Amino acid sequence: DSGVTQTPKHLITATGQRVTLRCSPRSGDLSVYWYQQSLDQGLQFLIQYYNGEERAKGNILERFSAQQFPDLHSELNLSSLELGDSALYFCASSVAGQGNNEQFFGPGTRLTVL
């Protein structure tokens, strides 16, 4: 158990819908990272927040957005869902904001878009 929690574990929805994935980092960690994992693409970095502020952005689609709240939990919002958005979404946390820190991954949310 990494100490990072993610809810829900599974999510099944239809194309065009909007969903919210939630992540609570390990106690004391200020950084939260979001990754998308699909079979053919591996782990793709989406976005990082550090202490409430956006720190780095990857190839995150405009239909996706995220935020980190004052209690440091983070939410990833996915809208106008398409079939290709079906994937495993991981949240990870680390102590500091620099990239050179061990990241602790949550158990993931499996999103299925039908």
Partner 1 sequence: QQPVQSPQAVILREGEDAVINCSSSKALYSVHWYRQKHGEAPVFLMILLKGGEQKGHEKISASFNEKKQQSSLYLTASQLSYSGTYFCGTLGGSQGNLIFGKGTKLSVKP
Residues that bind partner 1 (CB under 8 A): 2, 33, 41-45, 48, 56, 58, 90, 92, 98-100, 102-108
Give the separation between CA 35 and CA 21, rounded to whole angstroms: 12
Give the residue with the Cβ less far from partner 1, 30 or 45: 45
Q: Report the nearest approach of partner 1 to the CB of residue 42 (Å).
A: 4
Give the residue with the Cβ less far from partner 1, 47 or 78: 47
What are the residues facing 13 on neighbouring strands?
113
Chain centroid to CA 2? 15
Q: Report the nearest approach of partner 1 to the CB of residue 14 (Å).
A: 25
Q: Report the nearest approach of partner 1 to the CB of residue 58 (Å).
A: 6
Cα separation of the two ends of the chain: 31
Give the separation between CA 64 and CA 107, rounded to whole angstroms: 20
What are the residues facing 10 on neighbouring strands?
110
Give the residue with the Cβ less far from partner 1, 40 or 70: 40
Q: Report the nearest approach of partner 1 to the CB of residue 89 (Å).
A: 11
Give the residue with the Cβ less far from partner 1, 4 or 72: 4
Determine how β-strand 10-13 pairs with β-strand 31-38: unpaired
